[in-house]
Structure 1
Amino acid sequence: MHRVLTIVLAALLLGACQSVPLEGPARAEVPEVILLWPEGPPGGVPDGLTEMVVERVNPFGLLDRAAHEVTAPSLTLFRPEDSDGSAILIIPGGGYRWVVIDKEGFEGARHFSARGATVYVLRYRLPHQGWQAGPDAPLQDAQRAIRLIRSRASEDGIDPARVLVMGFSAGGHLAGALHTGADVSTYAPLDAADLHSARPDATALIYPVATMQLPHAHPGSRLNLLGDAPSPKAETAWSLESRIEAGQPPAFLMHAEDDPAVPVENALLLYDALRTADVPVEMHLFETGGHGFGLRGIAGTPLEAWPDLVTSWGRAKGIFAPGNRTGLAGPAD
């Protein structure tokens, strides 16, 4: 049975750009949390929501948490000991029903920060929970996140022109929405941070949700983003393959062909659209692997190559420095 831990966020009283140390044993692991919105999210918080974290059982015996009813969108910052100047915004999945914290967030952040990147993990709002912006609510958070990252470039020691967005599953859909809609106005500018561009310099989509059209749409993500009876217009508008245009940033796609949750056709549709628009794209398909693995259980399998494939591609695209270290040490490296 899941254990529900209600989080009391005293940080809500602080400004969006302030960093708040976490309390307890996680302090050394997760040193800083940056709130996205100084006065709360655009449009206010719907009645009845209480942000909470649910601990989940997994076969690896690892910490596995998910954030439900997110009311205080944030970035968790992982600083490298030896920075190469690159930055990664990680957007975890969760079917737009919750936001995975460890498996597709903190574990990847530790892996890539150990190799020189400054990593920010996004905790974003869920679109079906009464937000004034509806399906735009997560995109508001993603746009604000990348603008804040660039506004902190001097403080965090990053190059604002070397920002990679990496999304997993439904987080891949949100990363793709940012990739294709960085310049779409979704909220009124708040401060100087919003003068910065929300356009990624490169985008990596890991087993991404892409299409909202049947039969290949992920049912849960489609339901939570667009409701139980979306119009054909809404389906098309939120299908990433229909949003691809020439001049968008380079993209990296990775998927397992036997994915039972998000069909591999999601990656294939994106790949075809990117190639048709002459957007630089690299895709890697694995025969087996299923869905939602992150860095867990991949040692000794072909899947263990994917973090190094991202690193090599990112180096070729100018995101990571030539000396950026590769290699996978373990699931919670």
Structure 2
Amino acid sequence: MSASDIRTPLAAAPAEVGDADPARLPAVPVRHYGQWLAAALTAVGVSGILWSLGKNPNIHWAVVRDYLTEGLVFRGLWVTLWLTVAAMLIGIVGGTVVAVIRLSSNRVLSSAAATFVWLFRGTPLLVQLILWGNLGAIYPQLMVGIPFTHITLFQAQTSSVIGASAAALLALGLNEIAYASEIVRAGIESVDSGQSEAAQSLGMSRLHTMRRIVLPQAMRVIVPPMGNETITMLKSTALVSVIAGHDLLTNLQDVYSQNYQVIPLLIVASVWYLALTSALSVPQAWLERRFGRGHRIGGNRPGSLRRMFGFNRKATR
């Protein structure tokens, strides 16, 4: 057998392979039967739940409709909103201070900050609300003066200074400081220490470095859990009802204690809480996108509305 006879089949091989045009191959899409079945079962289940709620005679939807826009509901919503905003401001500012103190090299200050976090994070918020609401039983009078002397600069009845709203704000704000401090501390520690060293080598003070270098980079880690804390705070204001804080749930409880329409009025409260938490998710998504620029893989925007509600872009075939 000659060399030309051996080379002929090898030379013809590319032509034979090339005859099979990939464009002419039939494309068989992948069928996800499990996903279709899960979607069908979910649709049937949700439809059944909605149908049972709509036809349930024990739920008086007319009462829900009537009280959904009542004046007492809007008054309660106002108290709920300002408690949420004020408590979160106290929590964020105080939590940042406590986190910085806890990271301090001063053992006394860091131990005091750690003790504060241990105390307010380790006790239930409901217990703290009740204690602040009954502070007059512990200290009937509040006095401000020079310690270990009889010099008093201010004195008043505790009940006249700390009412239900002030007690609720103190409990919510101090409790939030403990949780926010841990979030801020985690964000600060996520920034590479070389950033601080480089800033200090340029002559920047520790405070200036923290404010201009560390905290802006830590916001990428801080914003998502802090947004969840805001939503949690909004729902935690419902606990104020135990000390008659005149929030949304308190006002509705006052009503259903008289007309006994418990379930419809609880549905009214749930609808408004869902609406407020949904509204808070929008600025949280914007902040995540704002501080997450340059840190995403694959170009997906963090916190986008499509991703937030579970809708992803269709993959390119």
TM-score over 0.5 for the alignment? no
TM-score (norm 1): 0.23
Higher relative contact order (CA 8 A, sep 6+): 2
When normalised by structure 2's length, the TM-score is 0.24
Q: Give the helix-richer structure, 1 or 2.
A: 2
